[in-house]
């Protein structure tokens, strides 16, 4: 079993180069390198060619991580393309694509609040709990988001 001093020496000496090596296959090489050192610590017997072993484990991990990243991105883009936020209705004067773009362009906290309230049916107290804010703040985000949507879509505010 490897001792902490030996592990610290190997990490200090090789981690940066291993991250650079892994970067060619994945977006988060530091995670792959960290996992590789964890695998090294778990080895019952220290590999004979420890640096070569680390490079092989980093390479395999980075290639696998890169595949996972690309697969996830592909699935996300397919899901986003298949699920429009709005559908144009026969009696609607709004363009669904324009509304989707306007909603997507809102700050995340406003968009989250609008979607959770209108489509999820959550109360502002529930949204506040979900988003880590007060019900009043959730309501203010909702109103600000609707106001911004009206501006972006050139829809006048209804008179009270």
Exposed, middle or buried: residue 59 (CB in 10 Å: 0-12, 13-18, 19+)?
Answer: middle
State residue 153's pLDDT score: 85
**What domains lie within the chain, and their CATH numbers?**
4-82 (no CATH), 96-153 (1.10.10.10)
Q: What element of type H or E holds 106? A: none
Cα Rg for the chain, rounded, in angstroms? Answer: 25
Whole-number Cα distances in Å, 121 to 13, 49, 74, 116, 150: 55, 60, 30, 6, 21
pLDDT for the residue numbered 1: 73
pLDDT at 98: 79
For the chain (160 residues), the mean pLDDT of every run of 10, in chain order, is 90 95 93 97 94 95 94 78 58 71 88 87 91 94 92 72
User: Is pTM beyond 0.85 here?
Assistant: no
């Amino acid at each position: 079993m490897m001792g902490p001093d030996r592990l610290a020496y190997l990490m200090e000496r090789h981690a940066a180069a291993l991250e650079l090596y892994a970067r060619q296959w994945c977006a988060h090489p530091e995670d792959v390198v960290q996992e590789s050192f964890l695998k090294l610590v778990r080895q019952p017997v220290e590999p004979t060619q420890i640096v070569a072993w680390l490079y092989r484990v980093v390479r395999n991990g980075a290639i696998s991580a890169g595949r996972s990243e690309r697969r996830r991105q592909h699935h996300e883009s397919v899901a986003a393309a298949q699920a429009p936020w709005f559908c144009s209705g026969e009696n609607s004067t709004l363009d669904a694509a324009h509304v989707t773009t306007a909603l997507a362009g809102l700050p995340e906290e406003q968009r989250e609040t609008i979607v959770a309230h209108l489509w999820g049916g959550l109360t502002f107290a529930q949204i506040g709990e979900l988003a880590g804010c007060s019900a009043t703040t959730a309501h203010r985000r909702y109103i600000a988001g609707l106001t911004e949507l009206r501006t972006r879509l050139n829809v006048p505010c209804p008179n009270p």
